[in-house]
Amino acid sequence: MSRPRSLRRQLLLGILLPTLLFVCVNTYSLHRQALAALHTAYDRTLLASAKTISEQLDVRGWDEQAELRATVPFAALEAFEADNQSRMFYRVSTLQGELISGFAELPVWRGTIPARPPYAALVDFYDARFRGESVRVAVLLQPVASSEGRGMAVIQVAETLELREAAALQILWDTLARQALLLAVVAAVVVLVTQRATRPVRQLSSDLQSRAEGDLAPISAPDAPRELQPLIAATNAVMLRLSRLLAHQKRFVRDASHQLRTPLAVLKTQVQSARRGDLPPAQALEEMGDTVERATQLANQMLALAKVEQLRQQGHVPVARLDEVLREVALELSPLVAQGDLDFGIETAAAPVRAHDWMLRELCRNLLHNAIRHAPGGSELAVTLRAGADQAVLTIADAGPGIDDELAARLFQPFSAGDVRHGSGLGLAICQEIVQALGGSIALSNRRQGERVRGLDAVVRLPLAHQG
């Protein structure tokens, strides 16, 4: 399993690597610019040396017959040699390359004067090799005139590059030192800012770790940065769902242990009575079968109640047709309708709702089963489903005795059946849980004619699903 990535490391790499790349490019560029600036500065020295030599020239004869003479001592160039770090060489020749004075092994200039020379003189600068060393050479075409003649001299002055390279290297090291200091400052700032920015996260982690086991209260962090607020809100939403699930699980365990204890105790008593022969075998088996059936129904309804909460927690909810589910459930319960000799009528309209198919089936089955069970034989049972602009309204109207006001106040609570001999009291509780999970409402009301109760209406309202 790979280790979690460090936010501090990601920030350091994300900031320092591009900065380091920029520093390298910038340092290289500065080094090139420094060399160019040094060449410009020291080229002036070479040009000054060449002009100094030109002042020592003399000529006899005119133009092509001119004879140039130079009286330049080698020591004349020592004034231009800086701190003995560089050495200078010169050569004076005619346009044809004939040596007049200086170092004969210095290569003859074969270039051309730029169209726009950098100085007000016929000068050219170039790099060359002399005596195995790199040199910078300045070439000056200098007209020489006297009372005895006129001619053109080519003056070459070469300088070794030790001083220039030393100065450029010093500039480079100074630049690198400043850039390294900059990188260190950036790294320190990133570490400090990251440490400060992640302090609320560490504080939240410490608060959560110090909580008591089972404490799912929402996180309260009003001083946390805005960037953390969505995470805190999402965490609180998850904790709220967990809290609901935990409460539902505790309630389910409590109810199961309480409600299943009674039928199991009854079944144990019936088994013991049958062993003693207190009742005829057929009657004893029939009573045990009734007890097992009620316990099975109770267990199934409790599992159904738990399943409603499970489906409530699922994110995606499909669209189902309530009218189609209602007709299918009515068809399944038709034997019970026939057994009660009920005048059954159903009228539906298209009603797409956002719900799981199982939830709609369980809702319709419980409501219809309750209505069939409480409707007198031969009475009327009407089922109507209408769809309005934004909601579907399901009405199940039976001709039963209705409910009294005291029972109506607690009828949707678990295990609050009106007749405990024929139900566990979970059917309507399941219906209410389903309706609330779907964002709807359910109500039971007596249908009256004057002061007389003519039956009971179960009305369910669910929001319609608007499909784009």
Query: Is residue 133 assigned to a domain?
Result: yes
Is the pLDDT assigned to residue 177 strictly greater than 80?
A: yes
Domain stop point among 237, 259, 281: 259
- 8-26 mean pLDDT: 81
Query: Is residue 292 assigned to a domain?
Result: no
Pair 208, 108 in one domain: no
Give the least confident one: 115-119, 211-215, 256-260, 265-269.
256-260
Give the least confident one: 7-16, 216-225, 291-300, 435-444.
291-300
Q: Are 97 and 88 in contact (CB under 8 A)?
A: no
- 407-421 mean pLDDT: 59
Query: Is residue 301 assigned to a domain?
Result: no
User: Percent of the chain, pLDDT > 70?
Assistant: 82
- 306-334 mean pLDDT: 80
Instruction: Rank 83-92, 168-177, 262-271, 288-297 by mean pLDDT and report only the highest.
Output: 168-177
- 448-462 mean pLDDT: 85
Average pLDDT, the chain: 79
- 23-27 mean pLDDT: 83
Structure tokens at 49: 């040396």
Residue 138, SS3 per DSSP: strand
Tell me how far apart the alpha carbons of residues 399 and 413 are, in angstroms, rounded to a whole number.
Answer: 24
Is the pLDDT assigned to residue 446 strictly greater than 90?
A: no
Give me the torsion for CA of 263, 264, 270, 274, rounded to 10°. 150
pLDDT band at 422 (very low <50, low <70, confident <90, very high): very low
Answer with the residue of higher pLDDT: 132 or 461: 461
- 54-82 mean pLDDT: 68
* Phi, psi (rounded to 5 degrees) for 84: 60, 20
pLDDT band at 259 (very low <50, low <70, confident <90, very high): low
Query: What range defines the domain where residue 133 resides?
Result: 7-169
pTM of the entire predicted model: 0.48
- 413-420 mean pLDDT: 54
Three state DSSP letters for 229-291: HHHHHHHHHHHHHHHHHHHHHHHHHHHHHHHCHHHHHHHHHHHHHHHHCCCCHHHHHHHHHHH
- 139-162 mean pLDDT: 83
Hunting for tokens 């003693």 — which residue is that?
276
Q: What is the pLDDT of residue 420?
A: 41
- 27-55 mean pLDDT: 80
Predicted confidence (pLDDT) per residue in 155-171, tens digit = 888 888 888 778 888 88
Pair 220, 343 in one domain: no
User: Percent of the chain, pLDDT > 90?
Assistant: 8
Pair 356, 452 in one domain: yes
Domain stop point among 169, 189, 214: 169
DSSP 355: S
Pair 223, 133 in one domain: no
Q: What is the pLDDT of residue 421?
A: 42
Tally of structural domains, the chain: 3
Q: Strands 343-347 and 380-387, how do they pair?
A: parallel
Predicted confidence (pLDDT) per residue in 329-360, tens digit = 999 889 888 988 899 999 999 999 988 888 88
DSSP codes of every residue in 384-405: EEEE-SSEEEEEEEE-S----H
Predicted confidence (pLDDT) per residue in 373-408, tens digit = 888 888 999 999 998 888 999 999 998 888 876 676
Q: Are 139 and 109 in contact (CB under 8 A)?
A: yes
- 417-426 mean pLDDT: 50
Pair 107, 157 in one domain: yes
Answer with the residue of higher pLDDT: 426 or 10: 10
Pair 145, 255 in one domain: no
pLDDT band at 208 (very low <50, low <70, confident <90, very high): confident
Query: Is residue 280 assigned to a domain?
Result: no
Structure tokens at 346: 């159903």
Pair 384, 253 in one domain: no
Query: Is residue 224 assigned to a domain?
Result: yes
Query: Is residue 311 assigned to a domain?
Result: no
Give the least confident one: 159-163, 191-195, 208-212, 291-295.
291-295
The Cβ of residue 45 has, within 10 Å, a number of other Cβ atoms equal to: 19
- Reference 70, options 139, 159, 154, 158; nearest CA is 154
Q: What is the pLDDT of residue 386?
A: 92
Is the pLDDT assigned to residue 17 strictly greater than 80?
A: yes
Pair 215, 132 in one domain: no
Pair 374, 419 in one domain: yes
Query: Is residue 425 assigned to a domain?
Result: yes
Pair 164, 206 in one domain: no
Dihedral sign from CA coordinates of 203, 209, 212, 218? positive
Is the pLDDT assigned to residue 458 strictly greater than 70?
A: yes
Is the pLDDT assigned to residue 82 strictly greater than 60?
A: no
Q: For position 400, which CATH number holds?
A: 3.30.565.10
Pair 89, 130 in one domain: yes
Q: What is the pLDDT of residue 327?
A: 93
Pair 86, 230 in one domain: no
pLDDT band at 418 (very low <50, low <70, confident <90, very high): very low
Query: Is residue 82 assigned to a domain?
Result: yes
